[in-house]
Chains A and B, each alone.
Chain A
Amino acid sequence: MPMKALTGNEAMAEAMRQINPDVVAAYPITPSTEVVQIFSNFVADGLVDTEFVPVESEHSAMSACVGAACAGGRVMTCTASQGLALMHEILYIAAALRLPIVLCEVNRSLSAPINIHCDHSDTMGSRESGWIQIYAVDSQEAYDSIIQAIRIAEEAFLPVMVSADGFIISHCMQRVDTLTDEEVQSFIGEHKSPYQLLDTSRPITVGPLDLQDYYFEHKRQEIEAMNTVEPIIEKVAKEFGQKFGRYYGLFETYMLDDAEQVIVAMGSAAGTVKEACRELRAEGYKVGLLRTRVFRPFPHKKLLELLDKPQIKLISVLDRSDTMSTMGGPILVELRSALYNATNKPMMKDYIYGLGGRDIFVEEIKQVAYKGKEYIESGKVDKPVDYIGLRE
């Protein structure tokens, strides 16, 4: 209810304040620094009951989060880019230990060269860590998603990272319709933990050594956990929507119903694509947007259902990171894999854009649609990957 003017970072910090976790262990890194700074202010002003651990590195941040979560606490942290990369080995551990940690991630490119601006290479680098990954399009969604993430994490017993584009969302002010503290608390409920390390009457060993005889089975269990996440996300989103009026899905579609061309985007650029779609439609192009939101688990079944349509001739994917596999960006790779068994297999083309914070404009997206129309008419795509806004 309280409408506030908040930047993405402020919105995420506000969500954290209202969630009031037991422990936050975090380390500052641009452009997520404000989240931990603002949260520190909440701690210093006694506005939260959180035990704040000002760790000496992101690796220790995630390690301390793992410790605190094992001890049965509700745990949150925040980071970006190199910080996420530094925690990399512990991310896998947190997921395998099935800890419901929630991480507010601010998307920033990975070095080298060092760049503090937005692209998705950081979270894409962790896509196999076992974390649930949700990409927000704006401050509102970042705020809402973090609150929902607590519920998702504690039901799936898998950690969740909610990410928002660095500087574009994290530092831009928007109207955010916030919930009241009571509404947040009542929505997230009591903390649920997979086990209790502090129960000395029932001692457990967490993080054992597995030899060849058990590792596979333990990992299969974790795979299964990720397999059960989609319906949990949808259920939580439905409840959130019913209570607070804002519905989020595994993905978002815009003008897609009769689209001949689909442009896929994730993060803040999706907003720009919507604007482009409006202009393109006015010019007579049947273009629609698919905004991927949940990247892990990748909702391949639902996307196949959505896109396996005779009228969809071409899917142009905008990727804000590259897989360095010669195949283009990760969204393209996943989506093409999802559409492999489509009856109506569309042509697909990948556009790498926005690396290192390079801006993307409505006009450039419209070019994608103009070129797309040419591909549809000629029946083939010239090359699988192109680059938007790159100086050749």
Chain B
Amino acid sequence: MPKLKDLTLNDRVFTPGHRACSGCGASIALRQVLLTAGPDTVAAIATGCMEVVSTIFPYTSWGIPLLHVAFENAAAAISGIEACYRAFKRKGKVKKKINFIAFAGDGGTYDIGIQALSGALERGHDFLYVCYNNEAYMNTGIQRSGATPKGAHTTTSPAGKVIPGKVQSRKDLTEIVVAHNIPYAAQATISNWADLTRKVEKALSIEGPTFLNILCPCPLGWRFLPDMTVEIARLAVESKIWPLYEVENGKYRITYTPKKEVRVEEWLKLQGRFKHLFTPQNRHVIDELQEEVMRNWERLQRKAECLG
């Protein structure tokens, strides 16, 4: 398990000077992943918040080689890089072990990027895919994505007089990924940094495709003050809205079980994107969300019991 002291030695892999919002959860996630991966890493990144803020020409925050191609193809880009590496390795042109990581937001993963992700997983490339999940297309101004939770206000699923925010539940992308039968898939978040970094280390040590879905609270998109980012990630875990678990070769393991019961409401009330739910007419959405969370948690627990 990575020690914080050791992680501090890698601080040049992702430098400050990037233009992420103050308190940006995704940049915390990126830092935690990259500090763990270290400098022998090559990354591909999809268009999105992290790509845009960190590569405004001529400034780059990246201390490792980085390729950005387009929005929906981080997984395809890394597939090509990794394939070339494999070819070079066979020919003896390269000997060093290099980590290959694809970064994409929930937009470039759940929606427009799901095809490329699925293909890369099926082909079995040796890489880690990191989804920095801020639950909407944040870079273009907070539009809804397949990862946006039910009830959330986004600019394309606004809370209006007739419709209370996003009507649909979010996709369970982690389970979609698990269904590809890859060696390792996990959910993590920035508040539980030890859990996250351990998962990164584990994923990178495994040969084959691995996947990490990291919940990244977004002060601007979720509407909270920037000092609350880590706290809101923590509460997402404690309220079971974002379970921390991993699936290794089909075996489910919940890596953190909250000790106290925290109602989903405690998490929702901290974010402006849900404030419209706290009215008598929309109250039912909170109850639906609570039910959904309980259902998903129970199902996860049963999976961990049977398939653990």
Q: How far is B123's CA from A344's CA once the two chains are assembled, in angstroms? A: 60
A380 to chain B, nearest CB (A): 49
A204 partner residues in chain B, CB cutoff 8 A: 65-66
B55 near A25 with CB under 8 A, answer no
**Which A247-262 residues have C-beta < 8 A from chain B?**
none
Which of B67, B85, B98 has a CB less than 8 Å from the CB of A206? B67
Which of A53, A90, A206, A214 has a CB less than 8 Å from the CB of B79? A53
> Taking the complex as formed, is A57 at the interface, i.e. its CB lies under 8 A from any CB of chain B?
yes
B91 to chain A, nearest CB (A): 6
**Which B103-139 residues have C-beta < 8 A from chain A?**
115-116, 118-119, 122-123
A57 partner residues in chain B, CB cutoff 8 A: 115-116, 119
Of the candidate stretches B70-78, B162-170, B180-188, B208-216, the one touching chain A is: B70-78
> Taking the complex as formed, is B86 at the interface, i.e. its CB lies under 8 A from any CB of chain A?
yes
List the B residue with the shortest CB-CB distance to A214: B57
B21 to chain A, nearest CB (A): 16
A60 partner residues in chain B, CB cutoff 8 A: 73, 75-76, 79, 115-116, 119
Which of A22, A59, A70, A214 has a CB less than 8 Å from the CB of B67? A70
Which of A50, A65, A197, A205 has a CB less than 8 Å from the CB of B87? A50
> Taking the complex as formed, is B176 at the interface, i.e. its CB lies under 8 A from any CB of chain A?
no
List the B residue with the shortest CB-CB distance to A54: B123
Q: Mark A87-120, 1 if CB is under 8 A from B, else 0.
A: 0011001000000000000000000000000000
B64 near A55 with CB under 8 A, answer no
B73 partner residues in chain A, CB cutoff 8 A: 59-60, 63, 90
Q: Mark B34-69, 1 if CB is under 8 A from A, else 0.
A: 000001111010000001100111101011111111
> Taking the complex as formed, is A198 at the interface, i.e. its CB lies under 8 A from any CB of chain B?
yes
> Taking the complex as formed, is A38 at the interface, i.e. its CB lies under 8 A from any CB of chain B?
no
> Taking the complex as formed, is B94 at the interface, i.e. its CB lies under 8 A from any CB of chain A?
yes
**Which B157-216 residues have C-beta < 8 A from chain A?**
none
Q: Mark A26-68, 1 if CB is under 8 A from B, else 0.
A: 0000000000000000000000011101111101110111111
A55 near B57 with CB under 8 A, answer no
A49 to chain B, nearest CB (A): 6
Given known A-B contacts A56-B115, A60-B119, A207 and B76 have beta carbons under 8 A apart = no
> Taking the complex as formed, is B286 at the interface, i.e. its CB lies under 8 A from any CB of chain A?
no
> Taking the complex as formed, is A208 at the interface, i.e. its CB lies under 8 A from any CB of chain B?
yes
B60 near A65 with CB under 8 A, answer no
A55 near B66 with CB under 8 A, answer no
Q: Which of A53, A89, A90 has the most CB of B within 10 A?
A: A53
> Taking the complex as formed, is B81 at the interface, i.e. its CB lies under 8 A from any CB of chain A?
yes
A54 to chain B, nearest CB (A): 7
List the B residue with the shortest CB-CB distance to A202: B65
> Taking the complex as formed, is A23 at the interface, i.e. its CB lies under 8 A from any CB of chain B?
yes
Given known A-B contacts A198-B98, A207-B68, A67 and B90 have beta carbons under 8 A apart = no
B99 to chain A, nearest CB (A): 10
A67 to chain B, nearest CB (A): 3
B57 near A68 with CB under 8 A, answer no
**Which A351-386 residues have C-beta < 8 A from chain B?**
none
A55 near B76 with CB under 8 A, answer yes
Q: How far is B56's CA from A211's CA once the two chains are assembled, in angstroms? A: 7
B209 to chain A, nearest CB (A): 13
Which of B56, B69, B115 has a CB less than 8 Å from the CB of A93? B69
A269 to chain B, nearest CB (A): 36
A329 partner residues in chain B, CB cutoff 8 A: none
> Taking the complex as formed, is A224 at the interface, i.e. its CB lies under 8 A from any CB of chain B?
no
> Taking the complex as formed, is A324 at the interface, i.e. its CB lies under 8 A from any CB of chain B?
no
List the A residue with the shortest CB-CB distance to B19: A209
B91 near A56 with CB under 8 A, answer no
A83 partner residues in chain B, CB cutoff 8 A: none
**Which A182-234 residues have C-beta < 8 A from chain B?**
197-200, 203-211, 214, 218
A22 partner residues in chain B, CB cutoff 8 A: 84, 87-88, 91
B307 partner residues in chain A, CB cutoff 8 A: none
Q: Can you list 23 A-B contacts with CB-CB less than 8 angstroms, sorted by A residue number? A: A22-B87, A23-B84, A51-B84, A55-B123, A56-B115, A59-B73, A59-B76, A61-B76, A63-B76, A63-B80, A64-B80, A64-B83, A65-B80, A67-B69, A197-B65, A200-B40, A200-B41, A203-B63, A203-B65, A207-B68, A209-B51, A209-B52, A218-B57
Beyond A22-B87, A56-B118, A93-B70, list 7 extra A-B contacts (CB 8 Å).
Answer: A59-B73, A71-B84, A75-B84, A198-B81, A205-B66, A206-B66, A209-B56
- Residues of B participating in the A interface, judged by any CB pair closer than 8 Å: 39-42, 44, 51-52, 55-58, 60, 62-70, 72-73, 75-88, 90-91, 94, 96, 98, 115-116, 118-119, 122-123
| 5 closest Cβ pairs, A-B complex | A67-B80, A56-B119, A64-B80, A207-B68, A63-B76
